[in-house]
């Protein structure tokens, strides 16, 4: 950086949001390599998505593949193909991304509305009813809704989206008489299988999981042959059924259902109606109490009586995808350990934190990890941690539940989430100081450039696959194209927002978000790049730069993805400027840039998806 940073207090009335403070940056800054890479990644991502869409989405919005019901390669995988396209737009990708996503989402509802099954009733009249999956588990439902949840970041005023979100949330608040998924007295979702047709209050069948076979040969991504070989489905079908032989327990609540809180969170952030926040607090609060009753362990099954393990004689570790979900997978003919407790509880308690600002939801996750770490053992000098709890099938068992399936691995991505939400340095002690976290801690100085270059390489490889793809729609199932999605957003989320995603069910937790007031849209303004350099409990440092040497640019900086945080003040070049809200407008003169350190209070404001220029009506907390 050359020259002295000059901050001029100003009310930038054409671009500021209803009296929000603004600053003008005039200090020259030669575009850093990371800034140019960010802008190139946004450009390349957007162009790659346009080429992908042109090849694989037809004029109706239908994805070019063979439709089928099932969790292995069914409707959730088809729309998951676009899982981060709406996030890419919210980061600053091209305007075309939203149009392509809307076309694909609406086409998806129509395409899978045409599906008919005979072996399961779940899709006998289509996979969707009232535009929501008829019945499924939230591991798969959540995967299929990732792009839908992030769409509100960019288009909160879309009336169709607002109506859908309210309607979908209502299916879990008993506002739809055909979808009474929730017991408000026991504060539980009644089944592992739930949706627009209500809860499944019976055991699932193999056909509920796998669907009907379809004629033809396909690239079966879940099979040993994978994408590189055509496999005739009908001879393979018995193996597909064998995959799910032990997946049939359904009645009662499951921590995966905590992901349904994303519907209420988004409805709350769209409307400000407190009933959604209250439902989240009630439901997540009940799970908090259940975990406490199980010694700090999040139970993986809750009976219709509201008690952990109620459908399994009190064995709270049972249930599909539970702590004790050690099964024989007949497809691969091996014992498999599939505990998915992290996939619902981490997103769910995170949503509760955003909705309420109550940090005790982080405590539930921390105590769970305390229990896992406390069960460690040292073997031949190696520290091993358990992944499972209960009856260790295939191991010595004396009739008592125990921790088992030990390895050197901890779920470090989930530990990272705990730290980033608490910003407690003791939580950081369990997180490896590598990659992005290492960079934030003052190491890995070249990490931003390497991470962005890696994501650009992903775009390049994906587009090479697209160009060389020799398959046809009649040989592709829903999960084939998911692996070819060219959009790469992880580095941009880390570096520009100070955000982090783990797992497959998303809510954006970040320290910053940006808006372009001149184009009235979400995302970094044209030619603007951002680098989050340091995070602490009460402060965050970000460098903003305008790589355009000719024209000025203006960007609105928001405290948090949903304005849930609060800027107290901002400091640059030794000068501190009061802010006193979740928004700051920054005008960057041509070729200028600066490092901004914000003093901030986290989780102080109610979450909102309203854009800054629509913010005056939003109620104070």
231-232 and 188-189: which strand pairing?
A: unpaired
- State the chain's mean pLDDT as an integer: 93
Which DSSP category does 112 fall into?
A: H
Q: Is the pLDDT score of 566 beyond 50?
A: yes
What pLDDT was estimated at residue 603? 98
Collect all residues with Cβ–Cβ distance below 8 Å to 461 and sequence separation of at least 6. none
pLDDT-based confidence at residue 397 (cuts at 50, 70, 90): low
The backbone torsions φ and ψ at residue 407, rounded to the nearest 5 degrees and listed phi first, read -155, 175
pLDDT confidence of residue 400: 85
Task: Please name which of 549, 515, 508, 519 lies closest in space to residue 530, comparing C-alpha atoms.
Answer: 515
Which tokens is 37 given?
């890479």
Give the whole-angstrom CA distance, residue 438 versus residue 432. 8
Q: At what angle do helices 261-271 and 159-170 cross, to 10 degrees?
A: 140
Residue of 20, 17, 146, 89 whose CA lies nearest to 521: 89
Give me the pLDDT at residue 3, please. Answer: 30
CB burial readout 155-188, b (16+ within 10 A) else e: bbebeebbebbbbbbbbbbeebeebbbbbeebbb
pLDDT tens digit string along 115-171?
A: 999 999 999 999 999 999 999 999 999 999 999 999 999 999 999 999 999 999 999
Number of DSSP helices (H) and strands (E) in the chain, helices first: 19, 22
Per-domain residue ranges of the chain: 7-30+507-614
Sign of the C-alpha dihedral computed for residues 213, 216, 218 and 223 taken in this order? positive
- Which CATH entry fits the domain spanning 7-30+507-614: 1.10.3720.10, 2.40.160.100, 2.60.40.1180, 2.40.160.40? 2.60.40.1180
Q: Report the share of the chain in percent with pLDDT over 70.
A: 95
Residue with tokens 């490889």: 461
Could you write out the three-class secondary structure of 258-313? HHHHHHHHHHHHHHCCHHHHHHHHHHHHHHHHHHHHCCCCCCCCECCCCCECCCCC
How would residue 356 be classed by pLDDT, with cut points 50, 70 and 90? Answer: very high
Asked whether the beta carbons of 263 and 181 are under 8 A apart, the reply is no
Could you give the C-alpha distances from 202 to 51, 374, 567, in angstroms and in order?
45, 37, 51
Beta bridge partners of 329: 334
pLDDT at site 13 = 31
Element (H, E) at 479: helix 478-482
Spatial separation of the C-alpha atoms in residues 112 and 506, rounded to whole Å: 23
Euclidean distance between CA atoms 571 and 560, whole angstroms: 18
pTM of the model: 0.95
**Rounded-to-integer distance, Cα 587 and Cα 55, Å:** 39
Q: CA–CA separation, 406 vs 504, rounded Å?
A: 24
* pLDDT over 80 at 226, yes or no: no
């Amino acid at each position: 950086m050359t020259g002295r940073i000059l901050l001029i207090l100003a009310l930038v009335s054409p671009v500021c949001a209803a009296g929000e403070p603004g600053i003008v940056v005039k200090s020259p800054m030669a575009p850093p390599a990371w800034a140019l890479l960010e802008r190139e990644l946004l450009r390349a991502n957007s162009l790659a998505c346009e080429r992908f869409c042109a090849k694989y989405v037809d004029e109706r919005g239908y994805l070019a593949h063979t439709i089928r019901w099932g969790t292995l390669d069914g409707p959730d995988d088809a729309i998951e193909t676009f899982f981060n396209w709406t996030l890419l737009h919210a980061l600053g990708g091209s305007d075309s991304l939203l149009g392509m996503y809307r076309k694909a989402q609406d086409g998806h509802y129509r395409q899978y509305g045409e599906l008919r099954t005979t072996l399961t009733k779940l899709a006998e009249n289509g996979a969707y009813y009232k535009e929501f999956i008829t019945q499924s588990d939230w591991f798969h439902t959540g995967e299929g809704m990732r792009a839908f949840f992030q769409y509100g970041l960019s288009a909160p005023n879309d009336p169709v989206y607002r109506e859908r979100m309210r309607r979908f949330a209502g299916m879990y608040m008993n506002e739809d008489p055909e979808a009474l998924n929730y017991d408000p007295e026991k504060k539980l979702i009644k089944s592992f299988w739930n949706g627009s047709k209500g809860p499944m209050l019976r055991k699932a069948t193999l056909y509920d999981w796998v669907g009907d076979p379809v004629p033809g040969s396909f690239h079966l991504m879940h099979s040993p042959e994978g994408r590189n070989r055509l496999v005739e489905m009908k001879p393979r079908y018995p193996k597909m059924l064998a995959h799910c032989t032990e997946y049939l327990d359904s009645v009662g609540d499951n921590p995966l259902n905590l992901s349904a809180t994303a519907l209420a969170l988004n409805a709350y952030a769209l409307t400000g109606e407190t009933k959604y926040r209250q439902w989240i607090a009630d439901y997540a609060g009940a799970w908090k109490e259940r975990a406490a009753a199980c010694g700090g362990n999040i139970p993986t099954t809750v009976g219709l009586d509201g008690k952990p393990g109620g459908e399994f004689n009190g064995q709270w570790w049972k249930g599909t995808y539970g702590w004790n979900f050690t099964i024989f997978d007949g497809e691969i003919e091996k014992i498999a350990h599939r505990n998915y407790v992290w996939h619902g509880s981490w997103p769910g308690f995170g949503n509760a934190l955003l909705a309420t600002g109550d940090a005790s939801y982080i405590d539930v996750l921390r105590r769970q990890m305390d229990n896992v770490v406390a069960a460690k053992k040292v073997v031949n000098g190696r520290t091993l941690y358990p992944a499972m709890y209960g009856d260790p099938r295939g191991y010595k068992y004396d009739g008592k539940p125990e921790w088992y399936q030990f390895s050197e691995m901890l779920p470090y991505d989930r530990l990272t989430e705990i730290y980033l939400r608490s910003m407690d340095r003791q939580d950081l002690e369990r997180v490896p100081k590598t990659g992005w976290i290492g960079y934030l801690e003052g190491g890995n100085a070249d990490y931003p450039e390497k991470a962005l270059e890696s994501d650009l390489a992903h775009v390049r490889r994906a587009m090479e696959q697209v160009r060389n793809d020799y398959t046809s729609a009649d040989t592709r199932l829903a999960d084939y194209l998911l692996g070819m999605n060219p959009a790469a957003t992880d580095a941009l989320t880390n570096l520009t927002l100070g955000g982090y995603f783990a797992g497959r069910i998303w809510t954006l937790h970040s320290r910053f978000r940006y808006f372009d007031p001149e184009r009235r849209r979400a995302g970094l303004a044209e030619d603007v790049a951002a680098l989050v350099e340091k995070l602490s409990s009460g402060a965050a440092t970000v460098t903003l730069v305008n790589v355009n040497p000719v024209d000025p640019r203006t960007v609105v900086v928001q405290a948090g993805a949903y304005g849930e945080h609060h800027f107290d003040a901002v400091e640059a070049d030794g000068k501190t400027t009061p802010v006193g809200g979740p928004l700051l407008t920054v005008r960057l003169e041509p070729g200028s840039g600066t490092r901004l350190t914000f003093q901030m209070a986290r989780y102080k404001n109610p979450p909102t998806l309203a854009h800054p220029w629509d913010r005056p009506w939003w109620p104070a907390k």
